[in-house]
């Protein structure tokens, strides 16, 4: 994986918008070369402007703007349950992005694969914006897929509970596919295997590997074969008097394609913390995502030999394991530009005490 990165053959592609500088540095150190991991960001008409402005405000997070490529996916009209078009205004149809499976049309529309070819990119790591623990251009995942000669690959995690809102990787009529959680019946989700575990337990986390050649084949040949899925949503609309109505419950249908629906065309875990709900949800919210990231960084710091003092100057209790919910005993945040997956932290942390909260960023690392 590091070798492919060092050879400038790897790109990352964000759906619905991670930063690649640290993995570039690791690959360069491992193979003695200077390398670049281009970052492609698929947005929609609604998010392109705010996303581009956010990048500019933050100086592209110290990345070369020439290596950050943003492009828009298509939109489809939203309809009522009886098939009538919903109006956003009296003179405008309500439109919605065509799902993360809209990636394939967007790649073709904006000549992204041609851009990848010019840069020498052969392998693409595609991930979704709502996983705070994703490892961009993960060299282990990419290296494994390359060694296997795979057209595409998917990371999975064991489902935490039957109703967890993740699709499952399974076989449908003997063909590997992902069945989205909204399309799995409650009874099927509860089915158990002989060992007592969930029968359908391979949770899809929208963390995928593709070769550029496979993406080219999908965009040119297979994309028209992808079937849209029904997403029941709350769609704002105007009434007969022209008043904007924001419904409190689902009132319409958006048609979406899924990025993983192409798996059937292929010839042959401390990595997921989902962000799907607004506060104050108990699961998969900004709060629980934050807690997962802080817990990971706290573990890395302890493994590197750091000790922490709480706000009162006392050592927090040593726990055999961190609780699944709640903040760790001390707050520690580590920039991905300093450490990609916990490596190399000993030089900064070993044998030292830090006051909580503690942030280890590039400036701190240089001191």
Going from N- to C-terminal start, the domains of the chain cover 2-265, 286-366
What is the distance between the alpha carbons of residues 125 and 281, in angstroms, rounded to a whole number? Answer: 30
The larger pLDDT score, comparing residue 336 to residue 185, is at 185
Range 270-288 average pLDDT? 52
Which backbone phi and psi does 91 adopt, to 5 degrees? -115, 20
Choosing among 3.90.550.10, 3.40.50.20, 3.60.110.10, 3.40.50.300, the CATH entry for 2-265 is 3.90.550.10
At residue 351, the pLDDT reads: 85
pLDDT above 60 (res 150): yes
Is pLDDT of 271 > 70?
Answer: no
pLDDT, position 14 = 87
pLDDT greater than 70 at residue 272 = no
Q: Is 344 left (phi over 0), alpha (psi -120 to 50) or beta?
A: left
Who's near 65: CB < 8 A, 6+ residues apart?
55
**How far, in Å, CA of 330 to CA of 58, rounded?**
28
Q: Using 50, 70 and 90 to split pLDDT, how confident is the model at 20?
A: very low
Higher per-residue pLDDT: 320 or 154: 154
Of the options 3.40.50.12280, 3.40.50.2300, 3.40.50.1970, 2.10.10.100, the CATH number for the domain spanning 286-366: 2.10.10.100
The residues, ordered by sequence, that sit 6+ positions from 92 with a Cβ below 8 Å of its Cβ are none
Residue 322: count of CB within 10 angstroms of its CB = 18
- Alpha-carbon span 77 to 83, nearest angstrom: 11
């Amino acid at each position: 994986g590091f070798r492919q990165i060092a050879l400038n053959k790897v790109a990352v592609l964000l759906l619905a918008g991670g930063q690649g500088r640290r993995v570039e540095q690791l690959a360069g150190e491992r193979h003695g070369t200077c390398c670049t991991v281009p970052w492609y960001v698929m947005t929609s008409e609604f998010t392109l402007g705010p996303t581009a402005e956010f990048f500019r405000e933050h100086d592209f997070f110290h990345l070369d703007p020439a290596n950050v490529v943003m492009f828009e996916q298509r939109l489809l009209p939203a309809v009522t349950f009886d098939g009538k078009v919903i109006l956003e205004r009296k003179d405008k149809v309500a439109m919605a992005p065509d799902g993360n499976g809209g990636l394939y049309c967007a790649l073709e529309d904006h000549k992204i694969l041609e851009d990848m070819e010019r840069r020498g990119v052969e392998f693409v790591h595609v991930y979704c914006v709502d996983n705070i623990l994703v490892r961009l251009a993960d060299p282990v995942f990419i290296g494994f897929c390359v060694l296997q000669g795979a057209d595409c690959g998917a990371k999975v995690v064991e489902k935490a509970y039957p109703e967890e809102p993740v699709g499952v990787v399974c076989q449908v009529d003997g063909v590997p596919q992902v069945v989205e959680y909204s399309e799995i019946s409650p009874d099927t989700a509860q089915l158990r295997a002989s060992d007592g575990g969930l029968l359908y337990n391979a949770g899809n986390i929208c963390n995928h590997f593709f070769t550029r050649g496979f993406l080219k084949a999908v965009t040119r040949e297979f994309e028209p074969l992808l079937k849209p899925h029904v997403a029941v949503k709350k769609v704002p609309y105007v009434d007969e008097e022209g008043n904007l109505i924001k419904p409190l419950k689902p009132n319409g249908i958006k048609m979406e394609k899924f990025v993983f629906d192409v798996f059937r065309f292929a010839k042959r875990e401390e990595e997921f913390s989902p962000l799907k709900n607004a506060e104050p949800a108990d699961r998969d919210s900004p709060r629980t995502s934050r807690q997962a990231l802080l817990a990971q960084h706290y573990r890395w710091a302890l493994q590197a030999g750091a000790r922490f003092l709480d706000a009162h100057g006392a050592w927090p209790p040593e726990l055999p394991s961190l609780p699944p919910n709640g903040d760790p005993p001390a707050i520690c945040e580590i920039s991905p530009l300093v450490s990609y997956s916990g490596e190399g932290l000993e030089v900064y942390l070993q044998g030292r005490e830090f006051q909580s909260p503690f942030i280890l960023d590039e400036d701190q690392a240089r001191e």
